[in-house]
Every structure is written in C-alpha cells, then in structure tokens.
Amino acid sequence: MKKKTVATIWCEGCSGCHMSFLDMDEKLLDLIKKGMTFSASPLTDLKIPPHGTDIGIIEGSVATDTQEEEVKMMRERCKIIVAIGNCAVFGGIPTMRNKYKVSEILSRAYENAETNYNSHIPSAEDISKLLEKVKPVDKVIKVDYYIPGCPPKPEAIYETLLKIIEGEKPELKGKLLSYD
C-alpha cells in the first residue's frame, strides 16, 4: 500500500484545531494503519519536504507576512490542501482586529497597555510583519477541502482524511458539519 503523507502547520490560531486532530485518538492509529504517515507538523518539528507531500492541513488564518509565505509554500509542496477550523476557513477570531489599523494595534499592545512600562514597538528584520487585514487561507491560496468548526470535530477530521486516503472526495454532512 502506498503511503499518503500529511503535513500540518498552524498560522494565526490557538492550536485548538491541532488538539482536535490529536483527539481523533485511536482513529488516528486507524488512519496510520490505512496508510497515513506524517512528513511534518508543529508537533513533531519535522520540516515540510520540498516535494511529494500528499495532504497539507492548515490551521489558523493568515495574519502576517511569514504566514502568507508559509501557506504559499504548503500549496507548492502539497497535492491537496485542507483548511481546518473557523480561523482557516473564514478568518475566525483573529479577524476581530480588522477594524483597526496595524499601527493602532501595535501601539495599544506595546506602548499603551496598562501592564507595560516604558515599552516600545519592537522592530527587526526577522520579526514577522502584521498584514493590514487578517484573511482566511483561501484568500491567499486555493483550498481543496474545508473542515469548519471551532475547533472542528475530530470525527469530521477523520472522515475527511479517510476519504482522501481512500481516493474519494470527502463531503461533510449533518452532525459532522459544525460552525461553533
């Protein structure tokens, strides 16, 4: 049986979607028995190989220039992209900052927070830059499948991956499709 490799990343998210991924529990082992293997994930710190990953799973919205580069890299390196969780699918909670300017947000966080004393906005070449607007993943790259929910149900993640591994088109219905 040919293995299906999976790479996962998280962008502007809380890691709750990855927790839901792990909450598949023994069904994760079932997927591994059916041919799934990992090429990379934030949990393993393995790096995404340049080619050949079958399924790329993205948690979180796109809020920084670094995240924008990362999702583009996922698209280049993975045959199928799955956006998991409301942040990746719709933008989610991180988009609450979209009604403010980036300069206002940074000033509030670093210069005018009640808990900060004599602080300043950090700036350096290697610090990611906030984008003007937080975006769902499909505003940056093409997404093949979506698993909404905050976090998505482990059963929905399982069903989606199972179908992809079996070479079928996943389609979430009924209780598997949640938005809360």
Smallest separation (angstroms) from ligand SF4 to the CB of 5: 23
For residues 56 and 60, which CB has a smaller minimum distance to ligand SF4 in the complex?
A: 60
For residues 64 and 134, give the distance between their C-alpha atoms in angstroms, rounded to a whole number.
8
For residues 120 and 16, give the distance between their C-alpha atoms in angstroms, rounded to a whole number.
31
Q: Residue 40 pairs with which residues in a beta bridge?
A: 7
Smallest separation (angstroms) from ligand SF4 to the CB of 86: 4
Q: Is 138 in the site for ligand SF4 (CB under 6 A)?
A: no
Q: Is 60 in the site for ligand SF4 (CB under 6 A)?
A: yes
Residue pair 71/141 in contact (Cβ under 8 Å)? The answer is yes
For residues 4 and 152, which CB has a smaller minimum distance to ligand SF4 in the complex?
A: 152
The single-letter code of the amino acid at 35 is G
Smallest separation (angstroms) from ligand SF4 to the CB of 88: 7
For residues 40 and 103, give the distance between their C-alpha atoms in angstroms, rounded to a whole number.
34
Q: Which of residues 150, 161, 164, 172 is near ligand SF4 by CB under 6 A?
A: 150
Smallest Cα–Cα separation from 10: which of 19, 158, 154, 161?
19
Residue numbers at the binding site for ligand SF4 (CB under 6 A): 13-14, 16-17, 59-60, 85-87, 92-93, 150-151
